[in-house]
Structure 1
C-alpha cells in the first residue's frame, strides 16, 4: 500500500443506525410501509454485515417506521450477524433448518404492506414471501428508491478519494512497464497486482483492449499479443476500504496514427465538456447529452455505444446512471464515472474515464492522471 494513504475512520454502529433511519424516512416519503433487504451491497451498507455462507438460506433485514430494525438469519449464522458493526442497532432473530423461514418472516412483516425489496433478492425468497403474505406488495428498491446509496457522506467520500488515488498510482506505474510483444493477459495481471500493492483489497476488472479489441467496451483481456502502433484501452478498478475505484485511459504503443490522435482528442474534449457541466440541479441525462453532443458533432455519434457514466460506492456500478431518460437531479455528494468513448469495429477504441463527485457548486475529479494520449513502449 502507498505510504501516503492513511486508513479511514472505521464506520460505527451509530453510522449504520443513521443510515437505517434515513432509509426508513425515504421509504415513508414514497409510500412504503418498509424495506426488505437481502444479502448484497445494500445489506453491507446498512449494517456492515455480509453473510459468509451460501445465501440459499433466507436472510433479510426489515426496516419499518416505528419499529426497531430486525435482521432475520439462519440460526447457524446468528453469531456472525451479532458480531456485525451495526448489530447494536438491530434486533436479530433466527430460524432453524427444517422449519419454514417464510413463516418466521411473516411474523415481522405486515400482512398487507407495501415493501421495497433490494434488487439482489433471490427470486425463490421473493416467491416464498409472496406465498405467506399474498396481500402484500413487493417492489424493487431500484425502482422505488433508486438513489438509496447515491449521496455519499464525508466518511464514504474519504474512501472513494483513497481508492481513486490508488487507481491513479496504478496507472502511473503501468505506463512505465513494457506493452509491445506482451499478451493482454500479462498487462491485466500487472494491473491487478498494482491495484493490490496500492491498497485495493478486491480487484473487480482489468480491461486491456489492444488494437481491434479496444472497440469492445467490455473486452476481457485475452491472448492477443500487443503490437507496436496499437491503441490500448486500460479500464480497471475494484474496492479499497470497501469503496470502489474505476478509471480508464487509452495509451498508444509507440507512435499513433493521426486518426488515433484525432479520435482521442474528440473523446478527451467530450469528457472535459461533460465534467464542466456537472453541478447540483442538473439532470443525469444532461451530462450524457453534453458528452454525446461533442462526439456526434465530430461525426462519431453512432460509435459512442454506451451511457456516459454510472454511480460508484460500495459497488463499482450503481445508481445514478448518466444516460438519456434519467431525469434525477445531481446532488452534492453523488459520485459517478464520466467515460465517453468511440469504438471503431475491427480497428481500435478510445475511452477516457474519471470518477467525479458533485460539490456545492460543480464537480471534483477523484482521478487526476493526465488525459493526454500517453505513449508506452
Structure 2
C-alpha cells in the first residue's frame, strides 16, 4: 500500500470536487482512474493491481465516486479515508464481471475519460462492456489539477530537495578512482534512503565517456583520475513527492582541456533558464533561454534533450520545458531545469535543480553548489 503521508480529508475532497468539475468542463461524463499517482492524488493512497481490475469511478459534475476493487485486495485501502471522502467501495470476487459492475455505475455515459495508465486489457474490456461510450484519456483533465501544486505539496518538494542535497553533499565519500560506477551507485542508493527517502528511484553514475549518454545508468567501468562524472539521483519521500537533482564532479583536474570553458557555458545556461522562470513566461521560453546561451558558446548541438520536466508524485509529469510548449507558467508549477552538454566518447555534464514558480519568479528547492565540484583524486 502506498499512501500520501499527512494529507487531510478536506484537501482530498477538494481534489475530487475539482476533478469532477474538470471532467464536466472537458465534456466527459466520468473518470475511470487506475492505481498509480493519479489515484494517489485523488484519494491519498493507491495499491498495485494488474490482471484484476481496480478503478476509481468519478462521475462528472456530481454523484458518488466509487472505488471498484477486488475483495481480496480491499484491505490494501484500509488507510485511505474513503468514508470521509464520500467514496464508496464496491468489491468483486473472482468469477464476477467487474466491467459490468463499472458499466452499471456509469449508466448511460456517452464519453468516459480513462486513466492514462489503465492497462489495455482493462480498457478493451470496458469498451466491450460500454460499446456506445467514447473513451478518451483522463490525463489532460487531471494534469490541469496536478500541475499547480498547493502549499503542502510545495513543502513536500522542498523536503525532498533538501534530502537529495544531503546525498550530494556526501559524494566525496564514494567518488574516487579505482571504484566502479556500480559500486558508487550502491552506496548512493543506500544514502538516498538514509537521508529521508522511501527508496532510490534512480541513480545515474556517468563517468568519463559514459557521462556523454544522458540516460546512462551504471556500469562496471572503473573510475579514473581526470574523469568528469555526472551524478543524477532522486526518489520519493514518504510523503510521495519526488526529488531529482544532478551535479557534475571531477576526480582531480579534468583530463580534457575543454571542460572548464564548456562547463562555464553550461552553468551560465542553467542560471539563465532559472532566471527566466516567472508567471506569464511560457515553458518554451525557459527552454530557449538555456539553449541560446549554449548556442552562443558553440555548443548548440551538444544539448540534446529538453530543458526540464514537471515533478511531483511522479518524477516526470507536466509541465515539460521544451520547444513547442506554449503553456504559460503559473505560480505553483514545479519542474526541473537541467541543461546539459554531451561530447560522445569523451565526457558530459548536466546541472539540474527543481524550481517552483512563485508569484514573481522562481524558488529552487536545491541549494548545492552548481559549479563543477573537483574532488581529490
Task: Identify whether the pair has TM-score above 0.5, normalized to the shorter chain.
Answer: yes
Equivalent residue for 2:56, pick from 53, 58, 61:
61
Match of 1:267 in 2: 266
Number of equivalenced pairs: 369
When normalised by structure 1's length, the TM-score is: 0.94
> Mean alpha-carbon deviation: is it higher for 216-225 or for 135-144?
135-144
Shift of 1:117: 1.6
Moved beyond 6 Å, runs of 4+: none
Change (3 A) 1:99 1:308: same
Shift of 1:79: 3.1
1:38 matched to 2:34? The reply is yes
- Give structure 2 stretches of 5+ with no counterpart: none
1:175 matched to 2:172? The reply is yes
Matches within 5 A, 1:304-319: 304-319=303-318
Deviations 1:330-361 (A, max 9, x none): 11111100000011111111100000000000
Distance 1:288 1:110 in 2: 45
- Give structure 1 stretches of 5+ with no counterpart: 1-7
Match of 2:336 in 1: 337
> Mean alpha-carbon deviation: is it higher for 201-210 or for 54-63?
54-63
Distance 1:23 1:61 in 2: 12
Change (3 A) 1:295 1:110: farther
1:105 matched to 2:102? The reply is yes
Distance 2:81 2:171 in 1: 37
Match of 2:366 in 1: 367
Match of 1:251 in 2: 249
> Mean alpha-carbon deviation: is it higher for 304-313 or for 28-37?
28-37
Q: Secondary structure at the match of 2:144?
A: coil
Equivalent residue for 1:222, pick from 219, 224, 243:
219
> Mean alpha-carbon deviation: is it higher for 66-75 or for 245-254?
66-75
Shift of 1:60: 0.6
Distance 1:269 1:86 in 2: 49
Q: Secondary structure at the match of 2:84?
A: helix
Q: Secondary structure at the match of 1:275?
A: helix
> Mean alpha-carbon deviation: is it higher for 13-22 or for 365-374?
13-22
Does structure 2 conserve the Cα–Cα contact (< 8 Å) formed by 1:48 and 1:86? no
Deviations 1:238-264 (A, max 9, x none): 011211000001111101243111111
Q: Secondary structure at the match of 1:370?
A: coil
Deviations 1:64-96 (A, max 9, x none): 221021111112222333441345311111122
Distance 1:160 1:191 in 2: 20
What is the CA RMSD across the aligned residues, in angstroms? 1.6
> Mean alpha-carbon deviation: is it higher for 74-83 or for 263-272?
74-83
Does structure 2 conserve the Cα–Cα contact (< 8 Å) formed by 1:174 and 1:190? no
Q: Secondary structure at the match of 1:42?
A: helix
Match of 2:12 in 1: 16
Does structure 1 conserve the Cα–Cα contact (< 8 Å) formed by 2:277 and 2:361? yes
When normalised by structure 2's length, the TM-score is: 0.94
Does structure 2 conserve the Cα–Cα contact (< 8 Å) formed by 1:39 and 1:51? yes
